[in-house]
Structure 1
Amino acid sequence: MVATMARPTAIGSSAAPHDAAGSDSSKAFRFPPVHAFPPFYTLQPNPVSRSQQLSQWRTLILDFCRYHRIFTLAPLPTTDAPTGHGEAADPHKSLFANRAIQRSLSPEAIRTVLSDLVDHKQAAWDDASGKKNAGPAAANTNAKALIYWKTPAQWGDAIYDWVFATGQNKSIMTLFELSHGDLVQGQDFYELPTALLRAALKHLSTQGKAQIFAGTEAGDGEGVKFV
């Protein structure tokens, strides 16, 4: 089975790309040939084959999420799939499935793939309250995984660069303003999930570049002062 799994061109190759269904070929995400390979959707029992298969899934997921600006994935469909590119941006209809060959990953296989991303520190489990949950129990539920197509440190650096470029240093901003405010529209970190934003700000805090303030009983949201 090792030779069979190695047959498709490696992810990232420009040879014979497979486009997302229903999308303009000049703008669609370019799927690698392995996405059209039926065994790709069945987790391989051979340890060597499975390791290679999971590595390909990790690369594909990070590329897909970066392209569509997807921050979280779950084993089962959710209501927060991106709508900008229609069905092509829905991971459960295009990333984890290929209608052309009538193949898809099962929810159990998706959990395994997401757990593998977490194990490689390319994702982190996130429970409904927005707190990271790296425990094994998360893999047995429909818990979402925060996908690190940028790591929290990279998000923190991007936010800090924007803060200085726009003269926001020395000012206090709420977490809502940083992720949904008018000033940040068009930035990569626009609509960044709160759990991922907190991790990014924690990175800046450990570097002495930010001070994080808790919300108040009066209803004020969490805030951060950039220094």
Structure 2
Amino acid sequence: MPDPVLSDYWQYNFPPFFTIQPNLETRKAQLEAWSSLILNHCKNNRIFKIDLKKALTEPPFQNASISRGLTLDGLITIFENMKEKGVADWSDKNKSSVFIYWNTPEAWANLIYHWVYNVGYINNVCTLYEIVSGDETVKEPFHGLDYEVLKKSLQVLEKQGKATIISLDDNGGVKFLG
């Protein structure tokens, strides 16, 4: 089934969109369009992390209908630009995968803390599993959140003095503070 987000971008069916443009003004507009497309695609499909090698072979980075796709260098250029804007971050030094922040860790932290406050979990301990996979969070926007993004979000709360991250076996946990 085609991604409905892709049909919102006329550029997606324009072959030059898949080649990083040399003209700086054109490139700036192209990178903005790619950033918007990627963020919307990831939000729509609840994608938190992208493996670059895998991405080269699938939409939105590959458009089979026009036989075009980004190169690895093109992907890196786009993600570097997104990183500069704070909406992406490399997951490793080799730049083999990237976190996509259609919600920043700070935004996830606010959503999580709002939920904690509303359900009365202040001064209680929750496992990471309970936060992203528990029955109580099924209707919350952070349900299903990638564990690494969750940890970054909890680190934000820890820096704000609203949480203490603790280690509980392999799962890990957090105590929320008032």
Give the TM-score band, short-chain normalised: 0.7 to 0.9
| Other-structure match for 1:224 | 174
Q: % of aligned pairs identical?
A: 34
Amino acid at match of 1:225: K
Q: Which has the higher contact order (CA 8 A, sep 6+)?
A: 2
- From the superposition, tell whether residues 98 and 179 of structure 1 become closer, same or farther in structure 2 (CA, over 3 Å): same
> What TM-score, normalized to structure 1?
0.70
| Other-structure match for 1:94 | 59
Task: Give the conservation status (yes or no) of the 8 Å contact 2:52–2:98.
Answer: no
1:13-69 Cα deviation digits (max 9, x unpaired): xxxxxxxxx44xxx9334311111110001112222222211111111111111111
1:205 and 2:158 correspond: yes
For residue 94 of structure 1, give the secondary structure of its aligned residue in structure 2: coil
Task: Give the conservation status (yes or no) of the 8 Å contact 1:66–1:149.
Answer: yes
Return the alpha-carbon distance in structure 2 between the equivalents of residues 93 and 202 of structure 1.
32
Matches within 5 A, 1:110-125: 110-125=75-90
| Other-structure match for 1:138 | 94
Task: Give the conservation status (yes or no) of the 8 Å contact 1:180–1:190.
Answer: yes
Gaps of 5+ in 1: 1-21, 79-90, 128-136
2:144 to 191, 194, 204: 191
Return the alpha-carbon distance in structure 2 between the equivalents of residues 28 and 109 of structure 1.
23
1:164-190 Cα deviation digits (max 9, x unpaired): 222222210112221222322232212
Amino acid at match of 2:90: W
Amino acid at match of 1:56: A
Return the alpha-carbon distance in structure 1 between the equivalents of residues 72 and 129 of structure 2.
32
Return the alpha-carbon distance in structure 2 between the equivalents of residues 149 and 50 of structure 1.
22
- Whose helix proportion is higher, 1 or 2? 2
Q: How far off its partner does 1:107 sit?
A: 2.4
Q: How far off its partner does 1:204 sit?
A: 1.3
Aligned-residue CA RMSD in angstroms?
2.1
Which segments of structure 1 move beyond 4 Å, counting only runs of 4 or more?
A: none
After TM superposition, the structure 1 stretch with the greater mean CA deviation from structure 2, 66-75 or 28-37, is: 28-37
1:167 and 2:120 correspond: yes
Return the alpha-carbon distance in structure 2 between the equivalents of residues 104 and 69 of structure 1.
22
Task: Give the conservation status (yes or no) of the 8 Å contact 1:122–1:148.
Answer: yes
2:4 to 21, 28, 32: 28
Return the alpha-carbon distance in structure 2 between the equivalents of residues 169 and 66 of structure 1.
29
Q: How far off its partner does 1:92 sit?
A: 4.4
1:57 and 2:34 correspond: yes
Task: Give the conservation status (yes or no) of the 8 Å contact 1:126–1:195.
Answer: no
> What TM-score, normalized to structure 2?
0.88
Count of residues in correspondence between the two structures? 176
For residue 65 of structure 2, give the secondary structure of its aligned residue in structure 1: coil
1:148 and 2:124 correspond: no
After TM superposition, the structure 1 stretch with the greater mean CA deviation from structure 2, 107-116 or 149-158, is: 107-116
For residue 165 of structure 1, give the secondary structure of its aligned residue in structure 2: helix
